[in-house]
Chain A
Amino acid sequence: QVKLVESGGGLVKPGGSLRLSCEAFGFTFSDYYMSWIRQVPGKGLEWVAYTSSSGRTIEYADSVKGRFTISWDNAKNLLYLQMKSLRAEDTALYYCATWELRGAFDIWGQGTMVTVAS
C-alpha cells in the first residue's frame, strides 16, 4: 500500500528546534519531488518547502526560509524537516506529500502536529 507516515511532532518552546520525519511505504522517494505543507487547525493549507530527489533543487516559503531545512535519506526512504528558531506562528499540522514539479501534490501523509508554546 502506498502511503506516507510523518512523525516527530510535539510541543516545543519558542526559539526551540524540532525535526520532523516522513517515511514512504510502497514506493521510492527517488521517483518524486517531496514537499512539506502545513495547516493551522481550522485554517488553510500553506506550502513550506520542496526538494527534488537529487536534492539539487530545494525551495522554501518566505515564512520559513533561513529557519527550516528540508532533506532526505534516500537509502532509508526518509524525508526530514529540520525546524529551528520556532515561533508561535509555526504551530500547525505538518504534512509531507509527493509533488510533481510545477504540478500536484499526489500522495499525502496524515500529518504530525507541531505546537510552539511556552
Chain B
Amino acid sequence: SNELTQPPSVSVSPGQTARITCSGDALPKQYAFWYQQKPGQAPILMIYKDNERPSGIPERFSGSSSGTTVTLTISGVQAEDEADYYCQSVDISGTYVVFGGGTKLTVL
C-alpha cells in the first residue's frame, strides 16, 4: 500500500504534549517528513528523515519512528501550534511521493 494514515484530529491543552501518528507499510524502509500548515499559508517542513529538525524549528517539535508508524511529538504545546500537520514519505520503491491525510491539531 502507498497510503499514509493519520488521525483526522488531535486536541490538547496548552502546555501538554501532543502526539500525532502516521502509519504506512513503507515507513520501515523510507524516511518520513512532517509539515505544519496554518490557514492561508504554505506548508512548512518541521521534521525531516524521521527525527531531524530543520534550523529555526522550535525544540518542542520532535519526531520518532517505530516499525510502520512515525510520530510527531509537540512538547509543551502552545496556542500558536494549532495547525494542520501532514506526514510525507515515498512508496516502497522510492518512486512516488505520498502524503498522509493530515491531522488538525486543536489547542484547547
Contact = CB atoms under 8 A, between A and B. Distances in A.
A25 interface: no
Contacts of A105: 33, 35, 43, 45, 88
Interface residues of A, number: 21
B85 to A, nearest CB: 11
Given A35-B97, A102-B31, A102-B90, A45 B45 contact: no
Contacts of B44: 108
Interface string A46-67: 1100100000000101000000
Contact of B98 (A47, A59, A99, A103): A47
10 contacts: A37-B99, A44-B101, A45-B35, A45-B37, A47-B97, A50-B97, A99-B97, A102-B90, A104-B45, A106-B45
Interface of B: 30-31, 33, 35, 37, 42-45, 48-49, 54, 86, 88, 90, 94-102
Interface string A4-46: 0000000000000000000000000000000101000000111
Interface of A is mostly: strand
Interface of A: 35, 37, 44-47, 50, 59, 61, 95, 99, 101-106, 108-111
A9 to B, nearest CB: 14
